[in-house]
Copies of this chain bind each other. A is one copy, B any other.
Amino acid sequence: MDNQRGERMTAPLSFDLITTEGAARRGTLHTAHGTAETPAFMATATAATIKALRPEDARAAGAEIAICNTYHLMLRPGGPRLEALGGLHRFMNWPGPIVTDSGGFQVMSLAKLRDLTEDGVTFRSHLDGSLHHLTPESAANLQRMFDSDIAMCLDECTPYPSSWEKTADSMRRSMRWAERARRAFTPRPGYGQFGIVQGGIDPELRRESAEKLLGIGFEGYGIGGLAVGEGQAAMFEVLDSTVPLLPINRPRYLMGVGRPSDIVGAVVRGVDLFDCVMPTRSGRTGQAFIPQGTLNIRNAVHAEDPAPLDEACTCPTCTSASRAYVHHLFRCNEILGPMLLTAHNTHFYQTLMRDLRAALDEKRLGAFVAAFHERQTTA
């Protein structure tokens, strides 16, 4: 198999570490569908679409890697249908690397009648009530049908807060599932599978989980079960204790995170990959990310403001639309409002990642982070 550059790939996906600054890392991820520079924020395309944004516009904003969800895709369009259509890349017009989450988190948050056993999880679709069964093996098999470059193992996202016993039980089952998922994974050149570290906010459980996954061996490691209500300080403590346990030559993906300040703090702590619905969901509800924090464009104060969302922003929205216009679109429930704001927020997040990468390249991450916090006044 050749990758996008025409290079012959014979090994699983790989990760080149370019430089470091403290715990922070600057790297390049190589996959069957091309590369992604890290630290990277992935375009969130849960149901094989970035909501309210064309994929080419996300790429123009700087996104190189996208993430979809096994739970959503197994229900619609379904694994066999997606395989028959040539896989996710062709289906959603995303030629670059694609990660698929296993769906464990979404089964817990979206599906009804969940029966969690050692074998897997049985649930009713939130769409039509139909009954489905997801196991570590079937999740791996579905992700092969999707043709995702990076398949996340099926895990249970431990509810927060949970007792130590429940957190430990949940994590240990996820680790047994990770063993099964690895056995069900078919290695292909340029593809890989990530294990997911669980264990709540307990450092020893996190250590046990990380050691278990390293014993199995994956092409990369997710850090799951965070940004679920524990707060930024607790999340950073988990990263401080967990990230150093992970191998230096494998990518680290902090799942479902987060706000810009979360991302900056996690990059400082050595995380390489991120995803979050925040830029796109905020784009649909009227919240714009700006260097000072956020603003709600529905606020009447913007009704007569001829300035763009952010004077310094070079995105297609800020170079063509005033705050007054975007305000008008949201007041009128016009689809162009979410479209323009999602484009801006995506550009904001991708610019943050580009700036973080540039700071790492130039060994000035510390100064960048100080300036980042200096700017933040509203969030």
Distance from A259 Cβ to chain B, minimum over Cβ atoms (Å): 23
CB-CB under 8 A from A84, the residues of chain B are: 304
Contact between chains at B334 and A335 (CB < 8 Å): no
Contacts of A321 in B (CB 8 A): 93
- Alpha-carbon distance A316/B51, docked complex (angstroms): 17
Q: Mark A312-349, 1 if CB is under 8 A from B, else 0.
A: 00001000111011001101101110111000000000
Q: Which of B49, B91, B320 contacts A336 (CB 8 A)?
A: B49
Contact status of A303 and B77, CB under 8 A, knowing A47-B334, A339-B339: yes
Interface string of A33-74 (1 = CB under 8 A from B): 000000000000001111111111000000000000000100
**Minimal Cβ-Cβ distance residue in B for A57:** B54
A151 to chain B, nearest CB (A): 21
User: Would A54 and B304 count as touching, CB distance under 8 A?
Assistant: no
- Say whether, besides A304-B85, A306-B86, A322-B91, A328 and B77 are in contact (CB < 8 Å): yes
Distance A47 CA – B331 CA, assembled complex (angstroms)? 11
Q: Which residues of A, 294-313, contact B by the 8 Å Cβ criterion?
A: 303-304, 306
Within A272-312, the residues touching B (CB, 8 Å) are 284, 303-304, 306
Taking the closest CB of chain B, its distance from the CB of A52, in whole angstroms, is 4
Q: Flag if B54 contacts A306 (CB, 8 Å).
A: no
> In whole angstroms, how far apart are the Cα atoms of A85 and B336 in the complex?
19
User: Across the two chains, which residue of chain B brings its CB closest to A328?
Assistant: B77
Answer yes or no: A81 CB below 8 A from chain B CBs: yes
Query: How many angstroms from the CA of A86 to the CA of B81 in the assembled complex?
Result: 51
- Whether B338 pairs with A54 at a CB distance below 8 angstroms is no
Answer whether A93 and B320 are a contact pair too, CB < 8 Å, given A328-B48, A328-B76: yes
Q: Is A335 a contact partner of B324 (Cβ separation < 8 A)?
A: no
Q: How large is the interface on A (under 10, 10 to 19, 20 to 34, 35 or more residues)?
A: 35 or more
A91 and B305 CA atoms in complex are apart in Å by 11
> Separation in Å of the A58 CB from the closest CB of chain B?
11
Query: Out of B72, B322, B334, which one reaches A85, CB within 8 Å?
Result: B322
A18: interface (CB < 8 Å): no
**A248 within 8 A of partner (CB):** no
In whole angstroms, how far apart are the Cα atoms of A303 and B340 in the complex? 29
Given A76-B332, A306-B86, A331-B76; A91-B324 close (CB under 8 Å): yes
Contact between B54 and A325, CB atoms less than 8 A apart: no
**Cα(A54)–Cα(B329), bound, Å:** 12
Residues on B with C-beta less than 8 A from A92 are 325
| B335 and A339 contact, CB distance less than 8 A | yes
Least Cβ distance of A84 to chain B in Å? 6
When distances are taken between beta carbons in the complex, the residues of chain B under 8 Å from A56 are 316, 320
Considering the chains assembled together, what is the distance between the CA atoms of A81 and B331 in angstroms? 15
> Is the pair A306, B336 in contact by a Cβ cutoff of 8 Å?
no
Please determine whether B47 and A324 come into contact, CB atoms closer than 8 angstroms.
no
| Neighbouring B residues of A325 by C-beta, 8 Å | 48, 85, 91-93
Contacts of A304 in B (CB 8 A): 81, 84-85
- Given contacts A85-B304, A324-B77, whether A52 and B336 have CB atoms under 8 Å apart is yes
Whether B339 contacts A54 by the Cβ 8 Å rule is: yes
Interface residues of A (CB under 8 A from B): 47-56, 72, 76-77, 81, 84-86, 90-93, 284, 303-304, 306, 316, 320-322, 324-325, 328-329, 331-332, 334-336, 338-340
Add 12 more A-B contacts to A48-B325, A93-B325 (CB < 8 A). A47-B328, A49-B336, A51-B335, A52-B336, A53-B336, A54-B316, A54-B339, A54-B340, A76-B332, A84-B304, A85-B306, A93-B321
